[in-house]
Structure 1
Amino acid sequence: MQSTLIFLKQPLAVAFALILVLLALGELLSPGFTSIEQIIRLLIVASLLGIVSAGQNLVILGGREGIDLSIGAIVSLTVIVAGNLMDGANANIPLAIVATIATGAFFGLLNGVGVTLLRIPPLVMTLGMLGVIQGLLVLIRQGVPSGVAAPMLANFVSKPFLFGLPGILWLWLAVGLFMSWLLKNTVFGQRIYAIGSNEHASYMAGIPVKVVRIAVYTCAGIFAAIAGICLLGYSGASFANVGDQYMLTSIIAVVFGGTSLAGGKGEYTGTMLGAILLVILQSILTTINIDEFGRQIIFGGTLLVLMVFYGRGKGLRA
């Protein structure tokens, strides 16, 4: 019993074990589920969620009940921006990337300013931003799909790039290495942990709390934009509310990875495992023909269960 409790307090071990269990279950339900081709397809989808979750990870680590509910809407908007600027031409990729990342950074910056300078609670601020962006999406699209991915981008996301793996998997690996370096080896990363653990003590110690928090939300917008660009390459074109799927799943991936919603403790490696786990679970639910509303119920219930074990656990707040 004691060993079981110790195991349950190790989010990385739990996530890895569940990934293996779900892969075995998937193979049992659908032979070929664990083939190399299928695993790569699952990892491509997981990388999209993982890149979005990198920004969500930073926001949650920063504490003050920080959760970015607008992150999915930012993904949807940046897919449209990238698609329209790219318009199916490889030559337009550099401009599209710069403009799309700038768009994500802008809305992330607005969230950060609202939370810090205007003192609006993060949930309220990002929920309000979600409404604003959804209104912009309706205004921009007018109900008509627009924007096409450039062939080079589509190939980068879906075709073998290096050692037989698609470019997006190498990009996700780069994001993972960057996040590990950022959080463990930079002053900015240490400040994120500090304000997440105790904002008042951090302020008294001379840490620019407001600047750090604004930067965290801005980074969330940037990661959402990067994911939007990759999602455009994956889907080939933009379509309505394509990023909505990431609002809840990005939170679950972060919490499953061992990051407390109270902030101040956690890492991105666990979030990467959480993203892989959720994508495998979603694939199994699709295999057994669970409708979208059923998947949402399961994901919501999963988040509640994770909150019991990891969301505010003493082991993660110590």
Structure 2
Amino acid sequence: MAPKSPDIEIIEEGDNQLGLEAIIQETSASLDEQKQSPPLSIVWKNVFVFAALHIAAVYAISLIPSAHPLTWLWTICMYHVSGLGITAGSHRLWSHRSYKAKLPLRILLAFMQTSAVQNDIIEWARDHRVHHKYTETHADPHNANRGFFFAHIGWLLVKKHPDVCIKGKQLDLSDLYADPVCRLQRRYYKILAILICFVIPTIVPNYLWGERLWTAFFLAGILRYCAILNATWLVNSAAHIWGMHPYDKRINPGENPVVSFGACGEGFHNYHHVFPHDYSTSEYGWKLNVTTLFIDTMAAIGQAYDLKKVSLDAVRRRRERTGDMAKED
């Protein structure tokens, strides 16, 4: 268990909207659920792009034996840079406001998030807030009730359900637009994405230890990018289909340690959907949770503060009331 930081705010269930997730699940679970989905409209450009990306990633695997060992380490390093940009940045900081970050850390996280190329921070956070507010309804961008493939990648290959757009426009995103880091990243996102996701990861191995540009591009660029995409998508798909439900057995998201390992700690998904404002997204601290370790480290050097954490007593009471082991009335 991670040591308790003096900047961690212990909160009880129901404080700071921590009861919101339960209310949402009970009041909106049937929202639009009975509506018939409109016919899927395939976005062929996305189909070709993602198909080409995965074919290139498979080819990249063949280059691993001939690559310099430092290139292997660099690829792994860039994987975690991208992953933490999503988990500690666009997810736990900007989507859920589960902690606060000073300007240097916000700039670093924006750089890291850009390297993952999963849309800019504002768009990512908007989609994620819609996902939480309307989980497993047609307003959920990656509604897991439509199957594993749809929740994993299919939602990116078709036009969004109209409800996603309607509900997304109703969200308050003023906090995101008020952050100059988010606004600046959004303004220059395309050029920054190319530079940070592909150019820098390719040039560094070539310049520092003489790796071939071709090999560096396919390993640190393409393979790493494809890997972090699928790790993130597994949170939407696998963690919404398979796993235990120790906190709330009434909802789909489950505790999936395999997803947690690959997604830097984001697989404790039953906990996260019950307590969405907990900065650790888990009650187990650093266990299979690199992101919590990162945030705690940033807190230790004064860059992260006001970390929100659910009290152990509140977690216990929720387990007993709605978890897998809860007694039936």
Structure with more relative contact order (C-alpha pairs < 8 Å, separation 6 or more): 1
For the aligned pair, the TM-score class normalised by the smaller chain equals under 0.3
TM-score with structure 1 setting the length: 0.28
Higher helix residue share:
1
